[in-house]
Chains A and B, each alone.
Chain A
Amino acid sequence: MSTIEISCVEVWREISNFLDDQISAEMRKRMEAHFKQCSHCKAVLDGTRNVVGLVGDGKLFQMPEGFNKRLYKKIQGLP
């Protein structure tokens, strides 16, 4: 049985859920088939995945120096 084709717009709407694996198996199949033929959507998918991969180590925001010490002091000073 062939997969039902979907439009680019439908693909974009689900691209984030696709990356998080929060779509049905059926939708995944349709999207995968679409990515094989559509270089634009494939580029959007790769780029979006890059974004998620780049920021995902939790270290994007450096803690201000001494944050820990100041917090400890505040807690010590609690009534």
Chain B
Amino acid sequence: MSMAQSQLRTNEAELIKSVCAGDREAFYELVCPYERMIYATAISVVKNPADAEEVAQEAVLKAFSHLSSFRAESKFSTWILQITYNEAKMRLRKARSHLYESIEEPRPSEDTDYWPKDFADWRPIPSELFERDEVRQAIQNATNSLSRIYREVFILRDVQNLSTKETATILGISEGAVKIRLLRARLQMRDALAPGIDGCGVKGQPYQKVRPW
């Protein structure tokens, strides 16, 4: 554990003590740095921003009422993201309970490989491009087009930059499964995005798909 990390843990442990002694402000201070991660974890499951906000807030309130069961050997952020993830899945289940569709986990197709569909060169994109709304929208659409189990891993690992281990703990799957799902998510994202974001509209050159077969 780095100095900064152990400092953070000490601070959090202090805050948790204050919360248990009845200090609401301390709880807000404890949760605040993870707001965005909590929201992102929620939206990775429920997709819709309004639902994600409700899930995030529910999860924070749940964390508050269960704070005494938090064990210091795990990271507070991992713990609260686990709560968020479970809350989001619960909401999904409730939303679907009136439908005849299966509420089981989507079946991972980890045994069937996903291969790239397009081999055109996708040159590095200028970073300012990301600031453009339509690019952000295209990325969001592509993310939403992933199956849930791939989207969850992609958002935790690549959008929120959590480690493989943390992602595995939050989702309750093995590290190997995280890696396999991430591979698939990234390849699918690339297939979805490459045709739109490449030079097209930037250098004025249309993107040419290259399919060798």
Chain A residues in the interface with B (C-beta under 8 A): 9, 12-13, 15-17, 19-20, 22, 39-40, 42-44, 46-48, 50-52, 54-58, 60-61, 63-64, 67-68, 70-72, 74-76, 78
Q: Report the nearest A residue to B42, measured CB to CB.
A: A61
Residue B190 lies at the interface, judged by CB distance under 8 Å to chain A: yes
CB within 8 Å for A74 and B60 given contacts A46-B124, A48-B186: yes
* A54–B125 CB distance below 8 A: yes
* B60–A71 CB distance below 8 A: yes
Residue B143 lies at the interface, judged by CB distance under 8 Å to chain A: yes
Q: Report the nearest B residue to A67, measured CB to CB.
A: B53
Minimum distance in angstroms from A69 CB to a CB of chain B? 11
Task: Point out the residue from B28, B161, B183 that lies within 8 Å of A72, measured CB to CB.
Answer: B28
Q: Which residues of B contact A78 (CB under 8 A)?
A: 24, 27, 61, 64
Task: Point out the residue from A61, A67, A72 that lies within 8 Å of B159, measured CB to CB.
Answer: A61
* A40–B186 CB distance below 8 A: no
Residue B171 lies at the interface, judged by CB distance under 8 Å to chain A: no
Q: Report the nearest B residue to A42, measured CB to CB.
A: B121
Minimum distance in angstroms from B118 CB to a CB of chain A? 8
* B121–A39 CB distance below 8 A: yes
A contacts with B: majority SS: helix
Minimum distance in angstroms from B39 CB to a CB of chain A? 6
Q: Which residues of A contact B139 (CB under 8 A)?
A: 54-55, 60
Apart from A55-B139, A71-B28: 15 A-B pairs, beta carbons within 8 A = A15-B187, A22-B179, A40-B210, A40-B212, A43-B119, A47-B122, A47-B194, A50-B125, A55-B154, A61-B40, A61-B49, A64-B53, A71-B60, A72-B28, A76-B24
Task: Point out the residue from B35, B123, B161, B190 that lies within 8 Å of A71, measured CB to CB.
Answer: B35
Q: Report the nearest A residue to B37, measured CB to CB.
A: A58
* B121–A46 CB distance below 8 A: yes
Task: Point out the residue from A9, A22, A42, A50 that lies within 8 Å of B190, measured CB to CB.
Answer: A50
Task: Point out the residue from B39, B61, B136, B190 that lies within 8 Å of A47, measured CB to CB.
Answer: B190
CB within 8 Å for A12 and B116 given contacts A17-B179, A56-B161: yes
* B130–A54 CB distance below 8 A: yes
